Chain A
Amino acid sequence: MSREEILNNIRRGVKRNTADDTARQTVLNRLSAKADNLIPARAQLPQQEQIALFIEMANEAAAEIIELDSISEVPSASAKWLRDRGIFELVTSSTAKVDALDWSPLAEKDIQRSQRVAQAGDFASLTDSFAGIAETGTLMLHSSPQSPTTLNFLPDNHLVILSRSAIVGVYEEAWKKIRAQFGATLPRTVNMITGPSRSADIEQRLQMGAHGPKTLVIFLIND
């Protein structure tokens, strides 16, 4: 069968057979150690400076950052942001954090909120995030029954809640954080998102908003 042929070819190439326990042990050790490789100095900073770096890098990636003093301000800030753009619908995730908010400011501005998967034609979504990575201004989100992945990709505008305390310096810290929460099995989808969708496939000219959201708004919460 293909599988055995392929594996045998490799074993022949590396001059080793299946009974080689040293090689097996080397591999097991690497898999269990989960050791860091070289981590650039850029984001190895005190947390306050990591936050500043996150903001700088996310801005560079064309994300829009709105700083809020408290998570309770998210509904009114969302309402304002949507209303300013003439958007009257918002699909949100239903994580505990999102559900705990008082969403009445949306209704006050005639904005309808629904909680479901995203559909083609949705104007805006709002989700929670798992972490922010300062190194490149990257958000980390993951799928769950409460947070469908389509919310991160189908709507034209994606609003994301990020707590300052969820900002880490480098990708490696995010992996440690995700292992701490989920153990050996990752959520089905882990999304690292750095700014809104874009393409330069036509004459190498950068255009924002290819297939994913055209804008990415980060509500950065001061907690």
Chain B
Amino acid sequence: MPNSPSQTTSARVGLFVTCLADMFRPSVAFATVKLLEQAGCNVEVPEQQTCCGQPAFNSGDNDTSRDIARQTIDAFDGYEYVVGPSGSCIGMLHYYPELFEESDPYHVRALELKSRSFEITSFLFDVIGMEALQEQLNKLQFNQKVTYHDSCSGLRQLGVKQQPRELLSQVQGVELEEMEEAETCCGFGGTFCVKYPEISNRMVSNKTENISNSGATTLLGGDLGCLLNMAGKLKREGKTIEARHVVEILADMTDIPAIGEADYDLAKAL
């Protein structure tokens, strides 16, 4: 794996937007683009992408998963790296090889896509490297007590744990207060949260309790699915803790209202 900035500077990176960032929080995708460009990458957004296919995969619909995998593999053909602001969606890309017989040409292509696709904080920390980022990060200021939720796929499938914390540690003013059970699922689980709403509700309630108990004023995470779930619950409970995707801090885009906060018009902001 290339690990020096010189090798990655001007790398051609395909942004995997992820359907939730596309639909709910484009600013997360813009923040990702900003971070990648600051790291010297040439970012492109392939038109033919939609969703990673996880809803079909986790519902047992492998034909649809395969169709979407092919579409995604084709869409991201030729990029040096594929980067997205979600451990869950990038994790799904890493499952693609399982969907194809070894004799299928897409099998090799899926393996190859897997080898060059990264969750954003992992890409920044593991591929670009702290040396190239430090100066930029040190200029940032975010005077908040933050707590970090480790999203399941990112943590257990992709090994994303210290990367966002290391990056955040370079931002001035950030005080990290770890919550109890930071690695425990928030209860989102894609369709799980609507298939088993009561169980999901219990899980997210446990989560918001741990978040509150941490004393943090801002909840950070790397996956919009979990963040929408936790932010939605915090709001419903009337808590004032704000929820943000970690890239919003790292890309200095904290002037945008936090998740589920006041009305924000992207159209005007652009």
- A and B touching (Cβ–Cβ under 8 A): no
Q: A interface vs B, CB < 8 Å?
A: none
